[in-house]
Chain A
Amino acid sequence: MGILEHIIILTLLLLVAIAITRLKDLLAVVMLMGVYGLLSASFFVIMDAVDVAFTEASVGAGISTILMLTAISLTGRTVSPIGHKPVLAMILVIITGGLLVYATLDMPYYGLVDAPANLHVSPRYIHDSLHEIGIPNAVTSVLASYRGFDTFGEVVVIFTAGIGVLALLSVPSPTPQEDTNEIKSQNIAMHHQHLVLRVISKLLIPFILLFGLYVQFHGDFGPGGGFQAGVIFAAAIILYAMLFGLNTARKAVSLPLVRLVSALGVLLYGSVGIVSLLNGGNFLDYNVLLPDPVAGQHIGILLIELGVGITVASVMIIIFFNFAGRNGHLLNNQSRRK
């Protein structure tokens, strides 16, 4: 068992990727990207990377598909054919691929216990993390404690990307006069068609939010943590915005508040580092936070995971609302021009 599923999923991934190259309809391409994300998530489960699979399923198959769809709705869905045949690109790719395949002949075979990658650092994480950090999920201990500084960098990158999207796409929120009746009726017509979806998602949204909180705070003991929880939490709000319209969602979720909160998450993460500096330890050294080092680790991990979750969730919400808001903005402008 294992090896067969392994080969099947990898082959399916390859087939999906080939189909993506050949398709001319961007809508189909984006849907296949969702399939591709879900397939790779299942592959990660076979590879024991449950935390990664969790993230890929919510990001690759979920949020990224939605973002691509909103982008396509703004840019159009057909690809115009290129005039020339890309022979040069083909040759380049084949040569590079051939060289890489040649390089793999020296690689350790799949699954070897004594492969070089598994001999350094990871034995320490596996053998010592339980009494150094005191939580069973080794991925969370490495993410939040041993490599806490690295994760801080990642969170800052996500926050910066959120700022970038805001700078590129943000439009002034519509005033009541601008929010013309035409757009309103359009929205209502669109959203009344999906009665079943609306009722079901209204029932589901509280549970999705609850699940997000569970993933957030149970990340020490099972797969999960701030990154996954943030995405799931944002997914619930995005679902609401998709089915009930952007304006209704804006009333439920205050966007200026979300912007403020996204910065607060990064601030919370950084402050934990500063507090540990002030207590006489290194930056993000949680041992000094409380008299008992393991208890200090617990509180430190809890706080920084919270910071991660808050920032990821609010940045995802900001990104979606700005993409979707752009659409309404364009519609508004067009109708005014007419």
Chain B
Amino acid sequence: MMILGLYSYWIVIALMMIGLYIIIAQGNLIKKIVGLGIFQTSVFIFYITVGKVEGGTAPILAEAYSQYSNPLPHVLILTAIVVGIATTALGLALIVRIKESYGSIEESEIQEKDNPKC
């Protein structure tokens, strides 16, 4: 019961850590954005699982149903998804400009160009 009850949280944590690992360990900037995307989606999944009620249905009110899942996390995440794509686009735009001025999107090469001494 404990494993079933907590399974989704553990997957969320695993996804979150994979995202974090990509952000820290990978040098490629696009890959970092992808890592941020994985991290972000794991938070979405967390919120939505918390709002789920066993035996409930989608929160579109009708007479035939009395048990609904919690609509509040749905609202928060719905807007977060669209804001997420807008900010991702901004990040990608920055990366495109970095590529144009540095000729590379690898973190190490960019650092080398910035201070050639170290």
Contacts and interface: CB of A to CB of B under 8 A. Distances in A.
Given A40-B45, A143-B79, A227-B78, A110 B6 contact: yes
A48 B52 contact: yes
Contacts, number: 290
B70 A118 contact: yes
A190 to B, nearest CB: 21
A68 interface: yes
A52 B74 contact: yes
B86 to A, nearest CB: 4
A172 to B, nearest CB: 16
A49 B77 contact: yes
Contact of B25 (A89, A104, A118, A143): A89
A320 B13 CA distance: 33
Contacts of A150: 79
B4 interface: yes
A233 interface: no
B82 A59 contact: yes
A7 B105 CA distance: 37
Interface footprint category on B: 35 or more
B53 A118 contact: yes
Interface residues of A, number: 103
A323 B86 CA distance: 13
Interface string A148-169: 0011001001100110110011
A60 B5 contact: no
Interface in A83-99: 83, 86, 89-90, 92-94, 96-97
Contacts of B79: 143, 150-151, 154, 227
Given A59-B85, A169-B93, A316-B85, 8 more contacts: A48-B56, A48-B57, A67-B88, A113-B54, A122-B72, A126-B59, A139-B74, A164-B90
Interface of A: 3, 6-7, 10-11, 13-14, 17-18, 20-21, 26, 29-30, 33, 36-37, 40, 43-44, 47-52, 55-56, 59-60, 63-64, 67-68, 71-72, 74-76, 79-80, 82-83, 86, 89-90, 92-94, 96-97, 100-101, 104-105, 107, 109-113, 115, 117-118, 121-122, 125-126, 129-130, 136-139, 142-143, 147, 150-151, 154, 157-158, 161-162, 164-165, 168-169, 221-223, 225, 227, 230-231, 312, 315-316, 319, 322-323, 326, 330
8 contacts: A10-B7, A43-B45, A75-B105, A83-B108, A221-B60, A223-B58, A227-B78, A319-B89
